[in-house]
């Protein structure tokens, strides 16, 4: 009996501490404004329709130099965000669009090749961490997802396999960078995937973090 009481006391301390941390950090969802619904099309800081993919570590870049196959090559972006190609060493490409990467390589190659024309095609999309959508907590498969154009909250939930049986989906929080500041929003995941309430769906933006808490029974 003493062991059981001790276990309950420890559990109570953990729960109380966790609740205090959530309250102090501002991540509790009850007092947060709701995330703008996709159906309402409310203004957001970044327009998903105007999003341009940014290269990140782990991406494969097919670099093609017109008329110069000997310096055309497929390379992988290193963890430091740089690539090395024939005649061009340690070029920083992370955070740039493929077109910007092409122009940068053209500039480097112009020392050796007259008026080089470079095309860059991206494979194996990862993107920089700042552009990824991260899902933590009671998702079936918590992970970081590369952002895709017109990605919605429902798309994210499908990608992570939905929620665990212990998830408190309607108490979830989405953290978004708004004007350089982290802004928490409340989201209704249970309403969306259990009740089919499509009004609970919302646009996802690059860099969003979805936090799914555990329900306390």
- Name the domain count of the chain: 2
Residue-wise pLDDT tens for the chain (217 aa)?
Answer: 444 544 444 444 434 434 443 444 444 445 777 776 654 334 344 566 677 888 989 899 999 999 999 999 999 999 999 999 999 989 999 989 999 999 999 999 999 999 999 999 998 778 888 889 999 999 999 999 988 888 999 999 999 999 999 999 999 999 998 888 889 999 999 999 999 899 999 999 989 999 999 988 6
Compute the residue count for the chain: 217
Domain annotation covers residue 135: yes
Do 45 and 137 belong to one domain?
yes
We report the CATH number of the domain holding residue 86 as 3.30.1950.10
Residues 22 and 81 in one domain: no
Contact 82, 93 (CB under 8 A): yes
Q: Are residues 141 and 189 in the same domain?
A: yes
Q: Are residues 69 and 38 in the same domain?
A: no
pLDDT score at 49: 64
Torsion of CA 63, 65, 69, 72, to 10 degrees: -20
Do 45 and 133 sit in the same domain of this protein? yes
* CATH for 19: 3.10.560.10
Supply the pLDDT for residue 149. 80
Asked whether residue 118 falls in the same domain as residue 139, the answer is no
Q: Are residues 89 and 149 in the same domain?
A: no
- Considering the domain boundaries, does residue 55 fall inside one? no
Residue 29: per-residue pLDDT = 43
Residues 156 and 113 in one domain: no
Establish if 217 belongs to a structural domain: no
Domain encompassing residue 152: 2-49+129-212
By the 8 A CB rule, do 146 and 132 touch?
yes
pLDDT score recorded for residue 70: 93
Tokens of 154: 């429902």
Taking alpha carbons only, the member of 112, 5, 122 closest to residue 54 is 122
> Domain check: are 138 and 155 in the same one?
yes
Same domain, 143 and 115: no
């Amino acid at each position: 009996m003493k062991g059981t009481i001790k276990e309950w006391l420890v559990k109570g301390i953990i729960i109380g501490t966790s609740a205090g941390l959530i309250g102090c950090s501002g991540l509790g969802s009850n007092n947060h404004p709701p995330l703008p619904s996709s159906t309402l099309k409310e203004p957001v800081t970044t327009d998903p329709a105007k999003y341009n993919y940014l290269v990140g570590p782990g991406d494969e870049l097919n670099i093609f130099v017109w008329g110069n196959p000997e310096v055309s090559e497929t390379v992988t972006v290193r963890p430091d965000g740089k690539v090395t190609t024939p005649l061009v060493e340690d070029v920083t490409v992370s955070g740039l669009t493929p077109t910007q990467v092409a122009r940068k390589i053209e500039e480097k190659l112009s020392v050796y090749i007259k008026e080089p024309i470079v095309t860059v095609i991206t494979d194996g999309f990862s993107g920089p961490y700042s552009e990824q959508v991260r899902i933590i907590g009671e998702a079936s498969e918590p992970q970081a997802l590369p952002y895709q154009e017109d990605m919605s909250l429902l798309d994210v939930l499908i990608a992570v396999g939905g929620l665990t049986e212990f998830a408190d989906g309607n108490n979830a929080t989405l953290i978004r960078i708004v004007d350089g500041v982290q802004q928490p929003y409340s989201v209704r995941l249970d309403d969306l995937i259990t009740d089919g309430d499509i009004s609970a769906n919302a646009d996802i933006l690059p860099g969003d973090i979805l936090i799914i808490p555990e329900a306390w029974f």
